[in-house]
Amino acid sequence: MKTLFEISKPGRKAYTLPPKDVSGELLESLPSRFKRKRPLRLPEVSEVDAVRYWTNLSQRNFHIEKGFYPLGSCTMKYNPKINEETAALPGFTEIHPLQPVSTVQGALELMYELEQIMVEITGLPVVSFQPVAGAHGETTGLMLARAYFESKGENRGTVLVPDSSHGTNPASTTLSGFKSEKISSNERGLVNIDELEKKMDENVAVLMLTNPNTLGLFESEIKRIDEIVHKKGGLLYLDGANLNALLGIIKPGNEGFDIVHLNLHKTFSTPHGGGGPGGGGLAVRADIEPFLPVPIVKKRDTGYYLDYDYPQSIGKIHSFYGNFNVLVKAYTYLKMLGCKGLKRVSENAIINANYLKESLKDDFELPYKQLAMHEFVLSGSKQKKLGVKTLDIAKRLLDLGFHAPTVYFPLIVPEALMIEPTETESKDTLDAFIAAMKKIAEEAVNEPEKLKNAPVTTPVRRLDEINAARMLKVKHSWDKE
């Protein structure tokens, strides 16, 4: 496919500029540092050329509206269009965060009601939507933990992180000034309780737990974990990236969690991918509230207001009040579903995951055979013995019309294939994915070279991923400098 510069022809244009309203004398008076040294290089194309170029380019990208996107641990669910319609309402798009609160009561009401919905979902009394991504929420949650212990005169320095956690957990720990220490999984893929008991002492501030974990398994001994952590005065933190499995079934606050981060761009159907925008809100127990970032939306007889009266607050961790447009989409999604619909989300996600797991367990190695939650992990170890790597399996899926699952994560499973179907996929789609995976398993035995050369039908063939990461080509032929 040619670039816009390659199809450019002198004299073509898709615009008409208004008459110049700046005098030549004024232009001449501009300091030289503000003047171009050379003409601006722009492609010269017609409107139809420009439209067709960008339309064709967009169709080459894989996205959730084009096909199945079973990216484990990322909940790439379909985003209903009603979310976009409400977020585009003029009353939301034409307000400014510096307006007096009396003029944005509707926006504050939405934020307040969304917070109350999250209070009900999490079982924790206070919510802040200022964090704007999952890892941002993690870091903020750990900053709250630090402030909480400092207020008590405790200088705790360690955060315990299971080996099945998300990779952002250790990074968030370091950014928050803590040292992370690993907790191993047992033979069932769950937290090793004996090791937790040994490592949980008065220097540990937080156990950072993903539940269900990245193997898609529910921590069945969560009550015991709760007792161990709180007996030593620590805090129990829930990485809420996998909350899609718990909606309407379990409230994390009732399971002993003190801090929960919420991925609005995963669990609550706001767009996910492309770098954002996202939402990484936090729900906390009452005695952690004083440390939340300001402001907090409150309600009184005269209306809604922004409460900055938090002298122990960690301050602001994002400009203004978070990604408001994302909050509108999450609010719409939740209002459309209601309580019963929200529970069905998790039930269907769990059913879909276990249907895939049971359908593929004989074709690929299944390291953990117990009931999965919203996702599960296969291993390509059986195929690797035939000379076919998990990466080859992933690339071959692209030829068959599917986005690849997460590969090589979690690290505790060799040749991992982490699959999350979400609740939005039909049985027809799941059956097609099963057929594709079974076909790949057969090809690994009979036609391994087909997998090693995949993909062959995509606009770009297999890249040298190491060199692509280390030797980026960021200049183009039209850049002379």
Lowest pLDDT segment from 50-64, 246-260, 335-349, 413-427: 50-64
Alpha-carbon gap, residue 199 to 415, rounded angstroms: 30
Of 70, 40, 32, 107, nearest to 407 by C-alpha is 70
Beta strands in 249-370 (DSSP E): 259-263, 280-284, 296-300, 303-307
Q: What is the pLDDT of residues 131-147, one digit of tens each?
A: 998 899 999 999 999 99
Predicted confidence (pLDDT) at residue 347 exceeds the cutoff of 70? yes
- Give the model's pLDDT for residue 271: 82
Q: What is the pLDDT of residues 369-401, one digit of tens each?
A: 999 999 999 999 999 999 999 999 999 999 999
Predicted confidence (pLDDT) at residue 16 exceeds the cutoff of 50? yes
Q: Which fold has domain 344-468?
A: Aspartate Aminotransferase, domain 1 (3.90.1150)
- Stretch 430-457: mean pLDDT, rounded? 97
- Stretch 294-315: mean pLDDT, rounded? 96
Q: Predicted confidence band at 474 (pLDDT cuts at 50, 70, 90)?
A: low
- Give the model's pLDDT for residue 475: 59
Q: Between 275 and 272, where is the model more confident?
A: 272
Predicted confidence (pLDDT) at residue 477 exceeds the cutoff of 90? no
Query: The domain 81-336: what is its CATH number?
Result: 3.40.640.10
- Stretch 217-232: mean pLDDT, rounded? 97
- Give the model's pLDDT for residue 476: 54
Give the global pTM: 0.90
Q: Predicted confidence band at 461 (pLDDT cuts at 50, 70, 90)?
A: confident
Q: Predicted confidence band at 15 (pLDDT cuts at 50, 70, 90)?
A: confident
Mean pLDDT of the chain: 93
One-character DSSP codes across 401-430: T----EES-STTSTTEEEE---TT--HHHH
Q: Are strands 235-239 and 259-263 parallel, antiparallel or unpaired?
A: parallel
Q: What is the pLDDT of residues 152-189, one digit of tens each?
A: 999 999 999 999 998 899 999 999 999 999 999 999 99
Judge whether 81-336 and 344-468 match in fold.
no
Going from N- to C-terminal start, the domains of the chain cover 4-60, 81-336, 344-468
Predicted confidence (pLDDT) at residue 481 exceeds the cutoff of 50? no
Q: Predicted confidence band at 283 (pLDDT cuts at 50, 70, 90)?
A: very high
- Stretch 124-136: mean pLDDT, rounded? 94
In the chain, pLDDT over 70 holds for what percent of residues? 97
One-character DSSP codes across 21-46: -S-HHHHHHS-GGGS-SS--------
Mention every residue, 6+ apart, whose C-beta is less than 8 A from residue 188.
Answer: 217, 368, 370
Residue 64: phi and psi, rounded to 5, are -65, -25
